[in-house]
Amino acid sequence: LVEFLPFVPLHWFVNSLGSDATYTYTLLDEGGDTTGSGSGFAHQESNWGVIFPPAWVWAEGINSDNSRQFSLSGGELMLGDTSLTTWLVAYHSPRIKWQFRPTLPGTEYITSIDSCAGSFSMIAKDSFRTLVITANAPQESFFDVSVPTEDGFVPGAEESFSAEVSVRGYIKLPWLGDILIDRYQFSGAALEFGAGYMCE
């Protein structure tokens, strides 16, 4: 989703928005272990760097036939003594395959974050395209997620796999303004609030 910039202390690379996957798992329980297996589609990503951001949102979703996927991440980032807010987002469908990133000239983001309500919204736009994403998950569906630190993994985020995510794509045409060209509602998507964006 983004070019490699060596001076940035944190990097995020999405390998795939929807790869074929098989899985096997075992739930360990004193009353007896449970094993399951199956197949589906998987989002694959890598992130690395020298520090986790002081606040972030991450979300991703895939529909049941893998014809539509979205992924987004962003939040606050420290560059030396300077704090800035930056976002990356991609949405792929049979109709459009869009990415927005801060290295694309003229890209703007408008976001609203309310982790205590389990909600996040984003408008990502440039001179020709606008992508509107709204995510909501029940507060009781969030669970603690550990994040890496210098001292090992510690609780540092909250995540839900029960988000309903609406995505709408618009193009701007002369004299006509923004025209809706694609829309989709994802169910069972992932939504995560990290560090300073967590509900207190």
Domains and CATH numbers, the chain: 49-195 (2.40.370)
> pLDDT digits over 38-48, tens only?
999 988 888 76
Percentage above 70 pLDDT, the chain: 94
Can you give the length of the chain in residues? 200
The answer to which of 41-45, 86-90, 133-137, 174-178 has the lowest mean pLDDT is: 41-45
Q: If 0-12 CB within 10 Å is exposed, 13-18 middle and 19+ buried, where does residue 54 land? A: middle
Top pLDDT among 89 and 2 is at 89
> pLDDT digits over 165-186, tens only?
999 999 999 999 999 999 999 9
Going 171 to 172 to 173 to 176, the CA torsion angle's sign is positive
Residue 169 makes CB contacts below 8 A (sequence gap 6+) with 91, 93, 95, 96, 98, 129, 130, 131, 132, 180, 181, 182, 183
* Mean pLDDT of the 67-75 span: 96
CA angle 138, 180, 168 (to 5 degrees): 20
Cα–Cα nearest to 189, from 2, 57, 34: 57
Percentage above 90 pLDDT, the chain: 70
